[in-house]
Structure 1
Amino acid sequence: MSYIVQVDFKMDGPFGEEMAEGFADLAKSINEEEGFIWKVWTEDPEVKEAGGIYNFETKETAEKYVEMHTKRLASFGITGVNAKIFAVNSTLTAINKGPVN
């Protein structure tokens, strides 16, 4: 069983290609986090919100990441982070072609 982390927060930008260029090193560093499997980056420039959907091997590694990431975002001046952790029902997810274990 794996775990999904859903994170969103208010952010003034950058978005789109500017975000991709500015956060490339951060994206690469996330690959090195313990238990990390994958991430989908999310953004909505119209409401100035960003975040992501992450997949982790265990609940413990997901919780550890959320704690670290919330502190990292605070160091960027981003507060009010909404983070939730969900267990994945892999049987139903496989029926719907979800990319999780």
Structure 2
Amino acid sequence: MTYILQVDFQHDGPFGDNMVAAFTELAESINEEQGFIWKIWTENEETKEAGGIYLFETEEDAERYLAMHTDRLTGFGVPAVNAKIFKTNAVLSKLNRGPIR
């Protein structure tokens, strides 16, 4: 079983290519987190939101990362972090081409 972590928060920028330039080093560091499998980065410049959808090996890995990431975002001045953790349904996800193990 794997676990999805869904995170979003207010973000005034950067977006697009500027986001890539600003956060490539951070993105590379996420690859080293315990139990991390993949992340899809999300952004909406119109609503000033950003975040991501993550896949972790265990619920504990997702919870650990969320606690650390929330502390980091708070340190960046983000006032509120919205997050949820879900179990994945591998059978149905694979049927719909989901990148699930």
Residue in 2 that maps onto 1:49: 49
Q: Does 1:10 align with 2:10?
A: yes
TM-score with structure 2 setting the length: 0.99
Q: 1:24-43 CA distances to partner (integer Å, 9 max, x unpaired)?
A: 00000000000000000000
Structure 1 equivalent of residue 35 of structure 2: 35
The separation in 2 between residues aligned to 1:77 and 1:9, in whole angstroms, is 11
- Counterpart Cα distance in 1 of 2:79 and 2:68: 13
Structure-to-structure mapping, 1:16-95, within 5 angstroms: 16-95=16-95
TM-score scaled by structure 1? 0.99
Deviations 1:20-67 (A, max 9, x none): 000000000000000000000000000000000000000000000000
Q: 2:68, 2:18 → 1: CA distance?
A: 24
- Equivalent residue letter for 2:25: D
Stretches of structure 2 that go unaligned for 5 or more consecutive residues are: none
Q: How many residues align?
A: 101
For residues 83 and 100 of structure 1, the distance between their equivalents in structure 2, rounded to whole angstroms, comes to: 20
TM superposition shift of 1:100: 1.1
**Percent of aligned pairs with the same residue?**
61
The root-mean-square deviation of aligned C-alpha atoms, in Å, is 0.5
Distance in 1 (alpha carbons) for counterparts of 2:20 and 2:34: 23
Q: Which runs of 5+ in 1 are unaligned?
A: none
